[in-house]
Structure 1
């Protein structure tokens, strides 16, 4: 990672004053992250700000810019590492800008953006102006499309992205707050009770409308995407509803100023990773008819409360990074893929409606990888393709390799070609499994024949019941009275023990040695022994609903976990 300053260019005096003197390297063919500092400016409320710029490997110019703001108790490194935004920048060709709050004034939690402070939410001062100046620095250093400058963020970063978009609706093309808050809200709009459901107070929508109207100084109706877990106990869904309603009142026209009159469509969210949590995308347009461009779009879903990361508050409050994100601080992998959903919105909402040339973008519907049941009829969820020049394109799908009559891993191949003969391909992995087949635990236990009989792994038989037989393959393992010898038995399907390693366990190196742990359910999830909802990985056995309660979990085969303790 490089630490660089930005080059001097022939610019207006105010912008020239904030640029530093060392030159920025020309973006290389491989992806790079550069670190910068915006010095404290002369206007009120300004502070020194550090920020990082991710430059994708295959960027074309002029490029779109997406600024992403971290939430409280996060940093811009969390944005870069956990949000899946770098992969999205690579896939879609935008420059990613990740500012860090760096330092701040006023009473607030660690690293919160000051969305509720008057000195930080108006054009020409404070944090919204510092963010604007950072964006202008990036404008000056890279070839940025002036019609495709976008801003997003989580929590306080979502609230600040809303404030920045309102204060500079002359500059930004579109905004996408995730778990954000209406413009000019108070800190009491955040639930800090530590309880679920949360409790908060909000300004009346009429006050938000008044504050919005008083701040915007440009007629451009900035498009707004709102991403919200309906079960969020920190930032309640009321916040998103109020943002939607106020935005429609300010930027709607004539009789089209309410959610009822402007609602144009209601569709399932796509793409998503493993579970879309009943997510719906609702579009609100200027006349209530279906159109590519919206005034507001909402992404509402029934997401879980708990997350794998121990630093989280388990209040349903997080960024969903999708398959290429991580379970970081206030970040979740499973769910509607924010990076892809946000970019889909941004790609349709440039300031002037123009669309640049480029390669088609293929979006897979449903899961990738996808699990199909053995002997079932396979149904491909399909894919969509969009080209910023041509619009929607046909997708060619080839799933002929998928054979649901045999367990295994297969692939579906997708391709799309635009009018300039630019082609894009994508692949979906399809895992065919038999969920009803017995699972070999491959557990190995060494004990005397007498002890194996006592534990039910062997039974008494032979002449005068003097012999011991393994209950799985009926092989004689010694005298039933033998308490001194040591004989190894291997478990295949649950409760069936064999004198030789079962074929299903081949390659396990002579039998898997059972291991067990006793720790909290949440720690089991974090370690990969269980998944959300507190079910064991592989064995799918319920550990209970409480994240802080200790449970025994045993690994009876590599990657196969069950509730309870090993027998020996």
Structure 2
């Protein structure tokens, strides 16, 4: 399944504090708005063509002819996920490109929902199947909008990343540059995706020499299409081997003699920029046509040491996702925190038009420091500022207005930056400034009662243990029952937003809690645990004397340490066998 997952991805608090958490999770608003248009490409006469729906996002400040960026969704995603979660519409507003988001719409063969068929031979050759339909969508967009023929670009995630590579090979005469995220080398099979559902994953790959041969057999144009490869080194669905093989084969096929391998072609290695909140040790490496800085790249890699888990409950927590940055969302197989793919990819595209030209356009504003930026109440706010660059004018003066920021009152405020070039093209960009109270409690003290299975579905717990048969609260990792249990009720308590515990957090039971159902300073009358006798013993809920007995109640729980039993606390420090009613 590929999707944002390839072949199967899975995988009363103080109001001011709650507002801070919500604000830090909300996407930043783009500086301008555009319009999204819906189209449909009819089935074409060549083999394996199908009707394809697609959407086109056009910024209000577009200049013509405009660059075009086509973005391909992954399995179990749609083009709406691309538009809503990937941060690309905000990037289109900022950088002035037309965004095209195709939807696979329908498909043949055995595959997971909405996967692009990169592994089917009839979909990865020029003149047929899905790769040709994507080419035809590009041509249809050009019939409706003024597109710069030297600045047609394509990107995608997972199966969309693999199909991005297919497009770069089959139509390198059309596309100027390509940027696959968690993609696969050209000609790979479905077995190159890890289907184990475990981390680390396992997969089978073609040799690099075979990938090279397959690429050379397909190419009919000499244009050395630049490729940016984006990969989480901890991805358990599409493994880093896929990115390494893609890089190595591309260098061999398109690199110049003596510079067709990583040692000779590497020109620079720097930290990835920009990023949102955490860079995850991301490294940006450029491999150029002569191994020197400043010349055209053959391949660039973006490798990050990213986390496995993601905030969205529809995800698989296998480290397989698109990183949307400050303007992205925590959607299906997409995250907000990390190296900002939209900005990094656009920088790569902007440096690699087909003819090497740099057209005139709007100034690009880069904020210095965090966005959003947090400031403690009653402290001094110092604007870190911003810079602006214009393709024609170079560095441009930035005007900042932070007069609305009030550090005496908790809330969200805006700094507005503007820059105007010599052609009177003006760009505006906002920074969110969140004023918070560092002394306010962070725990929500909410509680939720449901079956272990329902807690998993709601994201309050996760499946783990042998064969994922057990359920663990996501805050303290306490076992609360069988993952398939839909009939028993277990109460969990929320500490910091999104973290749930089998026990009431200390801040919620000692009088300092918030206004949730578990707040008010009073612990619940009864709370219970389903855990091994050994863990009950270690936690003080039981003791061992020739067998396991509950602390206080002295109820016999059994003699085997690894057996799961229910223990309830009916008063502070007094435990009995069984569950709360």
- TM-score when normalising by structure 2: 0.70
Contact 2:184 2:246 in 1 (8 A): yes
User: Which 10-residue stretch deviates more, 339-348 or 140-149?
Assistant: 339-348
Which of 434, 441, 448 is the equivalent residue of 1:517?
448
Which of 324, 327, 347 is the equivalent residue of 1:344?
347
Residue 102 and residue 273 in structure 1: after superposition, are their counterparts in 2 closer, same or farther (change >3 A)? Answer: same
Contact 2:96 2:362 in 1 (8 A): no
Structure 2 residue 76 is matched with structure 1 residue 76: no
**Counterpart secondary structure, 1:254:** coil
Residue 338 and residue 558 in structure 1: after superposition, are their counterparts in 2 closer, same or farther (change >3 A)? Answer: farther
**Counterpart secondary structure, 2:234:** coil
Residue 52 and residue 415 in structure 1: after superposition, are their counterparts in 2 closer, same or farther (change >3 A)? Answer: closer
Distance in 2 (CA, whole Å) between partners of 1:261 and 1:379 is 45
- Could you tell me which residue of structure 1 aligns to residue 308 of structure 2? 305
Structure 2 residue 116 is matched with structure 1 residue 116: no
Residue 290 and residue 246 in structure 1: after superposition, are their counterparts in 2 closer, same or farther (change >3 A)? Answer: same
User: Which 10-residue stretch deviates more, 96-105 or 146-155?
Assistant: 96-105
Listed as ranges, the matches of 1:48-447 within 5 Å are 48-291=51-294, 293-372=296-375, 383-391=386-394, 414-431=417-434, 435=438, 437=439, 439=441
Shift of 1:429: 3.5
Shift of 1:208: 1.2
Contact 2:401 2:417 in 1 (8 A): yes
Shift of 1:254: 2.2
Residue 260 and residue 565 in structure 1: after superposition, are their counterparts in 2 closer, same or farther (change >3 A)? Answer: farther
Shift of 1:385: 3.0
- Could you tell me which residue of structure 2 aligns to residue 497 of structure 1? none
- Could you tell me which residue of structure 2 aligns to residue 23 of structure 1? none
**Counterpart secondary structure, 2:301:** strand
Distance in 2 (CA, whole Å) between partners of 1:256 and 1:125 is 33
Distance in 2 (CA, whole Å) between partners of 1:440 and 1:123 is 56
- Could you tell me which residue of structure 1 aligns to residue 531 of structure 2? none
Residues 311-368 of structure 1 deviation map (CA, whole Å, 9 limit, x = unaligned): 2111111111222222211111222221122112111111111122121111224420
Contact 2:193 2:203 in 1 (8 A): yes
**Structure 1: tracts of 5 or more residues without a match:** 1-28, 444-513, 527-531
Distance in 1 (CA, whole Å) between partners of 2:374 and 2:82 is 30
Contact 1:552 1:564 in 2 (8 A): no
Distance in 2 (CA, whole Å) between partners of 1:560 and 1:325 is 32
Contact 1:232 1:317 in 2 (8 A): yes
Residue 42 and residue 427 in structure 1: after superposition, are their counterparts in 2 closer, same or farther (change >3 A)? Answer: closer
Contact 2:513 2:520 in 1 (8 A): no
Shift of 1:186: 1.1
**Counterpart secondary structure, 2:297:** coil
Structure 2 residue 514 is matched with structure 1 residue 557: yes
Count of aligned residue pairs for this structure pair: 459
User: Which 10-residue stretch deviates more, 191-200 or 81-90?
Assistant: 81-90
RMSD: 3.6
Distance in 1 (CA, whole Å) between partners of 2:233 and 2:442 is 41
Shift of 1:425: 4.0
Residue 288 and residue 558 in structure 1: after superposition, are their counterparts in 2 closer, same or farther (change >3 A)? Answer: farther
Shift of 1:76: 1.2
Contact 2:518 2:524 in 1 (8 A): no
- TM-score when normalising by structure 1: 0.72
**Counterpart secondary structure, 1:245:** helix
Distance in 2 (CA, whole Å) between partners of 1:147 and 1:209 is 26
Contact 1:174 1:349 in 2 (8 A): yes
Distance in 2 (CA, whole Å) between partners of 1:299 and 1:560 is 45
Distance in 1 (CA, whole Å) between partners of 2:246 and 2:222 is 18
Shift of 1:373: 6.2
Contact 1:272 1:367 in 2 (8 A): no
Listed as ranges, the matches of 1:502-541 within 5 Å are 515-518=446-449, 520=455, 523=458, 534=475, 540=496
Residues 134-192 of structure 1 deviation map (CA, whole Å, 9 limit, x = unaligned): 11111111111111111111100000011011100000011010111111111111001
**Counterpart secondary structure, 1:213:** helix
Contact 2:259 2:265 in 1 (8 A): yes
**Counterpart secondary structure, 2:131:** helix
Higher alpha-carbon Rg: 1
Residue 79 and residue 405 in structure 1: after superposition, are their counterparts in 2 closer, same or farther (change >3 A)? Answer: closer
Shift of 1:418: 3.4
Residues 496-528 of structure 1 deviation map (CA, whole Å, 9 limit, x = unaligned): xxxxxxxxxxxxxxxxxx7422464884679xx
**Counterpart secondary structure, 1:277:** coil
Residue 248 and residue 391 in structure 1: after superposition, are their counterparts in 2 closer, same or farther (change >3 A)? Answer: farther
Residues 461-497 of structure 1 deviation map (CA, whole Å, 9 limit, x = unaligned): xxxxxxxxxxxxxxxxxxxxxxxxxxxxxxxxxxxxx
Residue 211 and residue 307 in structure 1: after superposition, are their counterparts in 2 closer, same or farther (change >3 A)? Answer: same
Distance in 2 (CA, whole Å) between partners of 1:74 and 1:201 is 25
**Counterpart secondary structure, 2:268:** strand
Residue 104 and residue 286 in structure 1: after superposition, are their counterparts in 2 closer, same or farther (change >3 A)? Answer: same
**Structure 2: tracts of 5 or more residues without a match:** 1-31, 462-472, 477-491, 526-581
